[in-house]
Amino acid sequence: MDVVVIGAGLSGLVAAVCLREAGADVQLIEAGTRIGGRIQALRDPKTDSALADLGPTWVWPKYQPVVDHWLGALGLETFDQFNDGDAVIAGYGPAARRQPLPGQDGMVRIVGGPSAIIDRLARRLDPARLRVATAVTGLVEDGSKAVRIHLQTGETIDTQNVVLAIPLRVAATSLHMPWAHSDLTDLMRRTPTWMSTHAKAVALYDRPFWREAGLSGRIASRTGPLVEAHDHSGRDDDPAAIFGFVGWPPHLRQQDPEGLKQAILTQLTECLGPAARQPRQLVVQDWATNPHIVTDLDIAGPAQHPDIGPESLRQAQLDGRVRFTVSEVSQVSPGLIEGALAAGETAAAGFISNGSSG
């Protein structure tokens, strides 16, 4: 069986690994210059080791059986989110105040971050069959059995099986799919891509100085620019780090990125103390600038967590030749890492049980 997987985010990679290990000839096509999609690490330029997460951070293996399975299968360990001490609550009264805030039951971090999942999955694939920096522009029915994939380079690839592992809104707004009826494309347009409009700030420090003052590193703020922040230090506190979600809307943060960074440093200094003013590094990852993840539909609407979508999203399209595979189509935890893993497994199982050959 030959399969082309379009999109090398978590769901596409899982589908590719499952299909390859079931004996399929798998090719992966990724529009971005790296694999991982919404999963991305801030890396040490000298050692390439992951210092912090620029995309997702948390998993809940106690409640997420698919995550639990893959962490075990990939030999990855977890550790607790640091939450000892007081949080700083700002903008909810005349003055900022300190108080402990409960953590979430079962919420943990992965040693090496979620990008360790990506790295380990990639080791199970043939690098010669992965093509990055190559956007797919169309999927066209070719005869009664095949699909012709059009690439931005003008090349085409003919295949019998396609795992379409890209955000549904990106597919609906940028891919030429003449076979897709309007009910389907309307549904795809209505399915928001979780966290696609968010920006995440990460500040690295030499030591977790806030803990010395009895602070957990957690901030809940109505005034921002970070609406929430958390201790993001590595398992052995190296590097010490804080991450936060930026509350400014996309147009505002893109208008003045330097002003945003200064405002973040001012906020961190007010909340955590003067040592916060001088991070080793401050990075803002703005997901709303990545055209392979976000669309104008996401930016125009409120940030929405996707609901579990109708069965039609999980059914094979084009007489069994195409399967949507992104996290948002999953029947479990759509939008989350758990959903991406489940969607990848489900798509691969669909092709394998169908016994397609080619």
Ligand X SMILES: Cc1cc2nc3c(=O)[nH]c(=O)nc-3n(C[C@H](O)[C@H](O)[C@H](O)COP(=O)(O)OP(=O)(O)OC[C@H]3O[C@@H](n4cnc5c(N)ncnc54)[C@H](O)[C@@H]3O)c2cc1C
Is 242 among the residues that bind ligand X (CB under 6 A)? no
Instruction: For the CB of residue 95, give the shortest distance to ligand X in the complex, in Å.
Output: 30
**Residue whose C-alpha is closest to residue 165's, from 257, 296, 35, 267:** 35
178: which 2 tokens? 């003449």
Find out whether 150 and 138 touch, Cβ atoms under 8 Å: yes
Binder among 4, 28, 29, 294 for ligand X (CB under 6 A)? 29
Q: List strands edge to edge, sheet with 162-164.
A: 130-131, 25-29, 2-6, 162-164, 322-324
Binder among 78, 221, 233, 327 for ligand X (CB under 6 A)? 327
Rounded Cα distance, 250 and 263, in Å = 15
Is 3 among the residues that bind ligand X (CB under 6 A)? no
Binder among 24, 50, 336, 342 for ligand X (CB under 6 A)? 336
Q: How many residues bind ligand X (CB under 6 A)?
A: 39
| C-alpha distance from residue 12 to each of 21, 140, 325 (Å) | 14, 20, 7
Rounded Cα distance, 286 and 282, in Å = 13
Rounded Cα distance, 232 and 240, in Å = 7
State which of positions 194-233 bind ligand X (CB under 6 A): 194-195, 198, 200
State which of positions 177-196 bind ligand X (CB under 6 A): 194-195
Stretch that binds ligand X, among 4-12, 118-126, 203-211, 225-233 (CB under 6 A): 4-12
Instruction: For the CB of residue 258, give the shortest distance to ligand X in the complex, in Å.
Output: 21
As a dihedral over the C-alpha atoms of residue 18, residue 21, residue 25, residue 26, rounded to 10 degrees, the angle is 40
Instruction: For the CB of residue 37, give the shortest distance to ligand X in the complex, in Å.
Output: 2
Instruction: For the CB of residue 54, give the shortest distance to ligand X in the complex, in Å.
Output: 7
Rounded Cα distance, 36 and 20, in Å = 18
- The mark string for 47-76 relative to ligand X (x by CB under 6 A, - otherwise) is --------xxxxx-----------------
Interface ranges with ligand X (CB under 6 A): 6-12, 29-32, 37-39, 55-59, 135-136, 165-167, 170, 194-195, 198, 200, 287, 292-293, 326-327, 335-337, 339-340
